[in-house]
Structure 1
Amino acid sequence: MLIPGTLCDERLWSPQIAALTGHAEIVVPRVDASDDLDAIARDVIAQAPWQSFSLAGLSMGGILAMAVMRQAPQRVARLALLNTNPFGEAAERQALREDDLRKAREMGLERYAREVLAPLYPALGQPQDPRHTELVVAMARDAGLETFRRQSMALRDRPDASRRLGEIGCPTLVLCGDGDQLCPLSRHTYLAEQIAGAELTVLPGIGHLSTLQAPSAVNAALARWLELPASI
């Protein structure tokens, strides 16, 4: 199961789906069921067609993957956390969520995605890839404002997952780009330190959307991850 991030869908994982199809059965769940993170996680679990499964998530998808681990650890055979954040929302960021929503309504979601979100995704100091920008805009347009509202509120009020990372017992991959502007390397070194046996993979010169920005490296890391002995 591959969980996408905010305002994203299966297209975020398109290189991985292409590379892994034939090696694994893949499901990309919806992540818009509620404005409560734990409720979205319950819906993600309900969408899994298997009793046990390998679980990967990027950004908000990684936050949801950690919530799934809290709710149904017995069902997760392997865990991969990409470009994500184990901590709760900082107070100063919480205060900006309503302003983000107001801007998205006033600007229109497509313009907001193009002018506000997309510039945050390349590695620090790197130019935007026009293909990735257009994909971000298209996914945002198809998701819509209500999905953005629900996901924003869920992220704003999410529980802090950092104190329960030590409970994770399945084989875990932690992957990030060293230029991620939204979820910096320090958060991933923390994840790898707190989760017993976790493997940390750092991609040089890569930003927040590693699945699109470094598809070959991510595909290779996930292929190795899928070969790890399952914990179930």
Structure 2
Amino acid sequence: MTPVVFLPGMMCDARLFGPQIDALSARYPVMCHPLVGTDTIEGLARQVLDASPQRFALAGLSMGGIVAMEILRQAPDRVDRLALLDTNPLAEKDDVKAKRLPQIKAAQSGELRRVMRDEMKPNYLADGPNQGAILDLCMVMATDLGPEVFVDQSRALAARRDQCDTLRAYAGPSLVLMGEDDSLCPMDRHTLMHDLLTNSTLSVIQGAGHLPTLEQPQDTTAALRHWLET
């Protein structure tokens, strides 16, 4: 079976894909790479490539999707198939970049929990009965990773390149998946990726925002399983 490599979103780790890892690992070799240790998307992609099998299925959510697209740019022959979840192929807009500097300064000053609680996590999820528990898990993941990772990831995202040409050149089986209520990476970003990828399926998960892997794990896993089996 083709190994599956998961890449988590900003200030998340393998727990973001916990339900999918549990469901898929009986059949597939599964890896999840932390996005730590450097402050460029290019450097993070090289780290993942160095630690991954020669050929693999690649799935990234949010920042993980941005790194996945850079992996595809650097080594397209190693990516057997691609899944992009709640992510964005475009370079960062100037107004978003401008918000990152005060967040970086706050995190460096010991205010990481406040930044995550007040400025970032409230935008992640759709309303639902598990919202509180998922937000608590997101906070635990963020605090476990710590302020240095927050700073590195913020800088990497701010300097990222446009990957539209990368997606246009890829012909492997692809899944573009989003939570229906994702306000961070809205529908137009996903229809753009779907249109650029010549062999892609677009899946919209109802009752989910930016983190469908946790908000609607069964529907998300079903979409990923179909992607792996086709």
Any idea what the Cα deviations from partners look like across 1:144-185, whole Å, max 9, x if unmatched? 111001100000000111233211111000000121010001
Partner residue, 2:143:
141
Partner residue, 1:156:
158
Cα deviation, residue 127, structure 1? 8.0
Structure 1 unmatched ranges of 5 or more: none
State the identity as a percent. 42
- Paired AA for residue 189 in structure 1: T
Partner residue, 1:22:
26
Where 1:45 maps in the other structure, the secondary structure is: helix
Partner residue, 2:197:
195
Distance 2:33 2:143 in 1: 18
Q: May I ask how many residue pairs the two structures share in their alignment?
A: 226
Partner residue, 2:74:
71
Partner residue, 2:59:
56
Matched, 1:10 2:20: no
Identify the range of structure 1 (188-197 vs 105-114) with the bigger mean alpha-carbon deviation: 105-114
5 Å-filtered alignment, 1:77-226, equals 77-106=80-109, 108-123=111-126, 129-226=131-228
Distance 2:80 2:43 in 1: 22
Contact 2:72 2:166 in 1 (8 A): no
Cα deviation, residue 205, structure 1? 2.8
Relative to structure 1, the CA distance from residue 19 to residue 162 in structure 2 (aligned partners, 3 Å threshold; closer, same or farther) is same
Distance 1:114 1:132 in 2: 12
Contact 1:59 1:85 in 2 (8 A): yes
Where 2:33 maps in the other structure, the secondary structure is: coil
Structure 2 unmatched ranges of 5 or more: none
Distance 2:33 2:206 in 1: 29
Where 1:96 maps in the other structure, the secondary structure is: helix
Partner residue, 1:41:
45
Contact 2:57 2:82 in 1 (8 A): yes
Any idea what the Cα deviations from partners look like across 1:192-231, whole Å, max 9, x if unmatched? 0110021000112310001000100011011111112xxx
Distance 2:183 2:59 in 1: 21
Contact 1:3 1:62 in 2 (8 A): yes
Any idea what the Cα deviations from partners look like across 1:46-78, whole Å, max 9, x if unmatched? 111x21100000000000000000001111101
- Paired AA for residue 42 in structure 1: R
Where 1:81 maps in the other structure, the secondary structure is: strand
Relative to structure 1, the CA distance from residue 104 to residue 126 in structure 2 (aligned partners, 3 Å threshold; closer, same or farther) is farther
Could you tell me the TM-score, scaled by structure 1's length?
Answer: 0.93
Contact 2:183 2:210 in 1 (8 A): yes
Contact 1:118 1:133 in 2 (8 A): yes
